[in-house]
Amino acid sequence: AYFFIHFLDREYHGFVAGVVASTLEALGVRSEAEGNVVAYTVEERWAAVRIGWECSAALCIIVYTGLVSGLPGVKLKKRVLGLTLGYAAIFLGNLARIVLILYLNHLFPNLSYMLLHDLFGRPLSFLWMTAVSFAWFYHALIKAPEVKDSSAQ
């Protein structure tokens, strides 16, 4: 567990910080990443945020893993596909959420970062994970079910 947490904190969070800073730069916001910290401009000043456990979408990925893995009657191949596509969707949605929070903070400096994070970012993250989960359930159970009805024989 220590090595996973260490990897997550140093490598993954640093990667996310770098992608966020690059995306903000592409949007015209001066920004830099150093380790897992993103510095960006708010008016003429610099603000910094640390990309940590909550920003990594790790909790969403853990919940999604439980939802997909626990679904009965779905073959392993389809579960692996669902996990892979779901992880990618959650990761990209999470990156968009972080960039959007920082970009909005840059555009509207009178709004508190914490207000944007807590009242906008958290619900957005939950809604995105729910949408990805429902898309998986729809595909696995309704659109392409693999469970055969034994009463039809």
- Average per-residue pLDDT for the chain: 87
Residue 118: give the domain boundaries.
2-144
Q: Is residue 66 part of a domain?
A: yes
C-alpha span between 151 and 153 (Å, rounded): 6
Q: What is the pLDDT of residues 79-103, one digit of tens each?
A: 999 999 999 999 999 999 999 999 9
Q: Is residue 52 part of a domain?
A: yes
Contact 20, 98 (CB under 8 A): yes
Q: For residues 49-64, give the mean pLDDT.
A: 85
pLDDT at 57: 83
> Biggest alpha carbon distance in the chain?
73
Q: How confident is the model at residue 141 (pLDDT cuts 50, 70, 90)?
A: confident
Residue 28 tokens, joined: 């015209």
Q: Is residue 62 part of a domain?
A: yes
Give residue 124's Cα distance to chain centre: 10
